[in-house]
Amino acid sequence: MNMRRTKDLLMKLTSTLITLIMAVPLLWIILDVIIKGASALSLDFIISLPAPFGEVGGGIGNAILGTLIINAMACVIGLPLGIATGIYLSEYSNGSKISALLRTAIDTLSGIPSIILGLFAFSLIVIRVGHYTALAAAFALSIIMIPVVSKATEEGMKTVSVDIREGAIALGLPKWVITIKIVLGIAKSSVITSSLLAFARISGETAPLLFTSLFSYYWPRGLNEPMASLQVLIYNYAMSGFESWVVKAWGASLLLMLLVLSINILVRRFSTKVG
Amino acid sequence: MKYKSNFFFEKIFKTILKITSLIVIGIFILLFYSLVERSIPSLFQNGLEILFGTSWDPNFEIFGGAPAILGTLFSSAIALIFALPISLCIAIFYTEYGPVRLRPFISGIMDLLAAIPSVIYGIWGLWTLSPILKINFQEPIIASIGFIPIFSGPAYGLSIFLASLILTIMITPIISSISIDIFSKTPMHLREGMFALGATKWEVIKNVVFPFAKRGVFAATILGLGRALGETMAVTMVIGNSYLWPFKSVSLFASASTITSKIASEFPESVVNLIHNSSLISLALILLIISISINFVAEIISKKSVGG
Amino acid sequence: MSSNKLKVEDLSAWFYEKQVLNRVSLEFPDKKVIAIIGPSGCGKTTFIRCLNRMHELTPGARVRGRVVLDGKDIYTEMDAMEVRRKIGMVFQKPNPFPNMSIYDNVVAGLKLMGIRDKALLDKVVESKLREVGLWDEVSDDLRRSGAQLSGGQQQRLCIARALATEPEVLLMDEPTSSLDPSSTAKIESLVRVLKNHATVIIITHNVQQAARVSDYTAFLYLGDLIEFGETKKIFESPKNPLTEKYVTGRFG
């Protein structure tokens, strides 16, 4: 009996200790990024262009703007496709061949490493256009968003009970009105939640941008152009080894982390279910 | 009239949904098509070399993928070996031993760890963790048991060891969150049946919770594995991107390459050389095949676990 | 009354702020069947879960008072695991462990105690399965999963599992509520035999069942013990009008 209780106690201690230890990297990374990044921050850092190599000062304004532009384009492509396919799978699929194929496509896409989506956008768009372009980056990122939003939309809509649907049918409403106004209305929160999380997720994605939007030292001049982004800037500057650039990479990391974590924390606070 | 317009809108709505579905299916098919298409020049020229060759030299058009493929498999396997027991401990603490008050904190920690962008794990690993580990961990180990080949020197701060460690931190939240979900679903009447026989908590976990959660935890592990295999930025930034490991040095402290780090670090310069570019894409194709088969296995297993 | 096995003194129980048992005191005589009856929500289940310290597993659960087994307070002088080994339990819904065979289910408690002697375990499996009348039905394949049996067989397997550790008291929480009439009859006749080994405390929502199987009956209502006494007296000449109303089926 003693042996048994000792084992129990041992497991209790081990699991407590390990759980506490997992808090260490989180706090370490967050504090590290705040401390090292804060020294780089200034208004100038946020609103100006990178300084030419060898000169002091300069900022990352173009990268901040670039990330926002690329994300916005990705949302324009990804959200409608994600929501529409979610609606289709939940309400109109009826076990058709298209829906089975669509489900396979969405399940598989959600497990594909993001670097491969970048290579896909490269092969499909960059090669054909003949130069790096932010459009290809947005396309790659939108493929990350589609499964997240589609699955959450479908699940959200499927929770709407038969009673509510029948109530609506009994009012004589056509199916498309019921689907949009009532079912999607009830599933609204899971659509919004998943869209925000997908936005946070793509804000941190770097690999798909390396071969698509690449980088630029100038303000964005058009959507069909190479474009700077916070993510690629962090990678390039951190890997450069020049101290002044590494400091800028930490500063950019701080901004990126604030963006991503604040969305995650907000979503967690305002929704009970995090998809 | 009203009936007719409704019928019309219904039709339009359905058509839009169908078109978007076809677009997504099209993207999916196109993805495979274009990767295969871009890989063909390499597959023709390199043949099986891309799988088994041990050296890589674009100048001489030698493209052997084995070190990168092994680096991917090995770093992910090590990460899994650490992440699985850690995740089980976290799930045990969360659902069994820990106070209920702590639960939001634990799931918060896991969610935030999962949310941190991988490029930030990369910069942290590269500039903060690597120097500390090199001086306080790798060098003392090499000095004491460096005669064992896998712990031999010199200590590259950027190493396959560091990559595995960071992957462990990155995939633990995935495996532990799913494990927590499954553990919590263990039927109360089974737990109570075991408690009523005088079992300790650990005995209930071992005899009731683990057997119940087995399949789901396995599926979660595979999911974590898939994530580790495809992880790019953090690994590229901390693994050193050399082709030393495992054919020139088997040391865990040697710098190495993975499929993803190879692609991320060489892709921009490869654009001028079709075979080089195509070889990198065929590595990606190999990664895609590995990760799809793994997800497929996880899918089958998690579907089965619904029944039992 | 003969010697008292289990004594309950001033027992109260709560879930968070809600009190579900109010200062219940009674003494359970040894080697008898005692039925606990009362309308649903009266605290029957909570009451017997306090007797083997299962109540404390529920979040927000709190207990005050004493439960004394053979002179020892189970809350202060014994360890929860020891209590549960000495006071076995059978649940409302049959709960054989689905990952274990019939054999392993019966000896689960013994294995926890570290008993590995194959010959001894074999003997226990046979004798306990015979005792619950399951041996002839399952002895051809003891390696089958316990989850494959019918509901009534599962419940008898769970009784065999509870008996394997030779408990001194056996708690049964409406053991027949999810079973068909013929399975119920088998378990009822089993209960009448079980008192040769142990004190049996059985909850039932069916007053006829209480009358059929028990020597003593306790009537609980809204967390209070209304009446306790020999079953015959409770049914034929209850002292409290509430008891009379309940056993004659006039409220529920």
Give the pLDDT band (50/70/90) at residue A272: low
**Residue listed under structure tokens 């494959």:** C148
**How does residue A228 score in pLDDT terms, banded at 50, 70 and 90?**
very high
| Percent over 90 (pLDDT), chain B | 89
Chain C CB contacts of A5 under 8 Å are: 79, 81
User: What number of C-beta contacts closer than 8 Å exist between A and B?
Assistant: 250
Shortest distance between the Cα of C244 and any Cα of chain B, in A, equals 34
Residue A258 bridge partners (DSSP): none
Which domain range does residue A155 map to?
62-270
In a domain, A21, yes or no: no
Chain B (225-284) residues lying within 8 Å, Cβ to Cβ, of chain A? 226, 229-233, 236-237, 260, 263-264, 267-268, 280-281, 284
- A18 is a domain residue: no
| pLDDT interval class at A168 (50, 70, 90) | confident
B5-56 confidence digits (pLDDT tens): 778 888 999 999 999 999 999 999 999 999 999 999 999 999 999 999 999 9
Report the b/e string of A110-146 with b at 16+ CB within 10 A: ebbbbbbbbbbbbbbbbbeeeebbbbbbbbbbbbbbb
Q: Could you tell me the CA-to-CA distances from C170 to B105, B195, C33, C47 in Å, in that order?
A: 41, 14, 9, 14
In a domain, A4, yes or no: no
CATH of the domain at A218: 1.10.3720.10
Q: What is the pLDDT of residue B301?
A: 77
Q: Which amino acid is at A197?
A: L
On the question of a cis peptide bond just before residue B246, with omega within 30 degrees of 0, the verdict is yes
Q: Helices in C69-116 by DSSP H: which ranges?
A: 80-86, 102-112
CB atoms B197 and C52 under 8 Å: no
Strands C169-173 and C61-69: unpaired
Inform me whether the pLDDT recorded for C35 exceeds 50.
yes
Using the predicted structure, report yes or no on whether residue B182 has a pLDDT greater than 50.
yes
For residue A113, which amino acid is it? P
Domain count, chain A: 1
User: Beta strand pairing status for C169-173 and C87-90?
Assistant: parallel
Rounded Cα distance, B207 and B205, in Å = 6
Average pLDDT for A80-106: 93
Domains, chain B, ranges and CATH?
66-307 (1.10.3720.10)
Q: Does B263 contact A115 at a Cβ distance shorter than 8 Å?
A: yes
DSSP assignment letter at A51: P
Residues in CB range of A95: below 8 A, 6 or more apart: none
Classify the complex by whether its ipTM is higher than 0.90, answering yes or no: yes
At A174, list the tokens: 């056509």
pLDDT at A214: 95
Task: Let me know how many helices (H) and strands (E) chain B has, helices first.
Answer: 14, 2
Res B307: pLDDT: 41
Confidence band for A1, pLDDT divided at 50, 70 and 90: low
Q: Are C129 and C138 in contact (CB under 8 A)?
A: yes
Q: What is the largest CA-CA distance in chain A?
A: 75
Check if CATH label 3.40.50.720 holds for domain C4-247. no
Query: Does residue B305 register a pLDDT over 70?
Result: no
pLDDT band at B306 (very low <50, low <70, confident <90, very high): very low
The pLDDT of residue B2 is 56
**Boundaries of every domain in chain C:** 4-247
Measured CA to CA, the distance from residue B122 to residue B124 in angstroms comes to: 5
- In this predicted structure, what is the pLDDT of residue C232? 95
Q: Shortest CA distance to A60 belongs to which of A70, A42, A46?
A: A46
Average pLDDT, chain C: 93
Q: β-pairing, C72-73 with C224-230? A: unpaired
pLDDT over threshold 50, residue A33 = yes
Residue owning tokens 């004589």: A172
Q: Which residues 141-160 of B have a C-beta within 8 angstroms of A?
A: none
For residue A119, is it within any domain?
A: yes
